[in-house]
Amino acid sequence: MEAVVPKLPSFNFLTPNSTAAVRKLGFRRFSSSSSSLSPSVSASTESESVSLGHITRPDFPILHQEVNGSRKLVYLDNAATSQKPVAVMKALQNYYEAYNSNVHRGIHFLSSKATEEYELARKKVAAFINASDSREIVFTRNATEAINLVAYSWGLSNLKPGDEVILTIAEHHSAIVPWQLVSQKTGAMLNFVNLNEDEIPDLDKLKAMLSSKTKLVVVHHVSNMLASVLPVEEIVHWAHNVGAKVLVDACQSVPHMVVDVQGLDADFLVASSHKMCGPTGIGFLYGKSDLLSAMPPFLGGGEMISDVFLDHSTYADPPSRRCCKLGENLSPRFEIDLQGKTQAECSAASEVADEWVPMLKLVEVSDWLAKPPRIGEEECPRIIFEAGTPAIGETIGLGAAIDYLSAIGMQRIHEYEMELANYLYENLLSVPNVRIYGPKPSKNVHRAALCSFNVENIHPTDIATILDQQHGVAIRSGHHCAQPLHRYLGVSASARASLYFYNSKEDVDDFIHALNETVNFFNMFR
């Protein structure tokens, strides 16, 4: 059957039930800037009759609208991107209205304020995933760029002919394609783990494939199609036993559960802001400090350099090697070249990053040597990997999103979403001729709050189109950037409904009702 041609949507905004208030939020390891949060979000528990979805929904204005001719929007496409709370939008607006400026090299107030908030976001990310140091966080455009950074910086430097990289067939294209390109350049081999009978990557086969030839294991934490959750800590342990590193795609886990990189012992981990209530255009790479320190630059440009000449350039060293050098913007009588000096060789334990001018005070050189400015640990980020002007507003917005999620509590979010996940799966099973992909939930098997599915003899894009146009239900259809997985399952595409903490069981009910009507509509033509 040919796909239905969609019409252009129309929008009518409803009035939210409440507005977000402004409050101060403390964070685990640092003080936060002020954030706009709903008074209800900070409540420690919700009553049985009021779910977390009902409590947080007023914080998301986009959800309070009608689409396609006065149909209430039911947004179930959260695995593709999440919606943004008022707190995040206010943080972006505040940056552009109050202290818009470039970071790291200016000495004026606006640049200092922007730098402070930008680096505070780095500390928030580090605390959120329990990194041991904020310098283990590298900001990137998205998780895709973060994986490419590891592939081209670590991969090209460490892989050689005969080496092996192990992946699963359930990986996102972003976790496959970079390693295909690197393997073509290095001669390394890519080996893939298939699914077991429960439609989960076969961990027994993965373990058996590990050998002294294995240099890297690339795995997702949560599958964006199968909804399966892998025991990353065990996989890391197996890989480390043969001397291999592990890169974890945590795009579908960091927004939904507590992720502890030290507990997982992962070597690299990537995630994207836009899937965790933050802005688009910003993601991050976590890397163990010893690995990052040994990796060469990925992109060339401003920020990541030490000195540039016409015939060559030198690069900013890792913070563990050099953290003391006054910037070029200072008056010559205050300049002193400490390049190559270690932190221990500086006269105090404080650290000052290359060209970190905003926080430096103009003092005599003798005074500076006696007591260098102390500005905290954020002054030595992995700037070697952050070439050019970064996404400053978006990074600050990511920090605000972390504040918002932390105020709710990630364990609370996870427990609520597990309840939603079971409710979605059980109700979707009631739809005639439906096929849900991934493991069946049980006492020992927990699914993420998403379901990829097909209905017999109906194209998933036709399903998604009718759900949208006739019922205002937004789901996704296609291959979900997982074509190898779809081919393994014998299909070219699937439909996917994915939930977040601001969804409710009523959203699931609306979806199931709309899906049944959609199936009945197409069955009329059979």
Residues annotated as catalytic are 481
Q: Do 385 and 298 form a contact (C-beta atoms < 8 A)?
A: yes
Coil, helix or strand at residue 299: coil
What whole-number distance in Å separates Cα of residue 87 and Cα of residue 60? 9
Coil, helix or strand at residue 321: coil
Q: Do 462 and 421 form a contact (C-beta atoms < 8 A)?
A: no
Q: What is the DSSP string of 192-257?
A: EE-B-TTSSB-HHHHHHH--TTEEEEEEESB-TTT--B--HHHHHHHHHHTT-EEEEE-TTTTTTS
What whole-number distance in Å separates Cα of residue 443 and Cα of residue 426? 14
Q: Which residue has the tokens 């390891």?
A: 29
Query: In degrees to the nearest 10, what's the CA dihedral of 463, 467, 470, 472?
Result: -160
Total Cβ atoms within 10 A of residue 376: 15
**214-220/245-249 β-pairing:** parallel
Long-range contacts, stretch 367-371, CB < 8 angstroms, 24+ apart: 368/326, 368/334, 368/336, 369/336, 371/347
Residues in the chain: 526
What whole-number distance in Å separates Cα of residue 210 and Cα of residue 213? 8
Q: How far is CA 219 from CA 166, 235, 388, 481, in A?
A: 8, 9, 30, 15
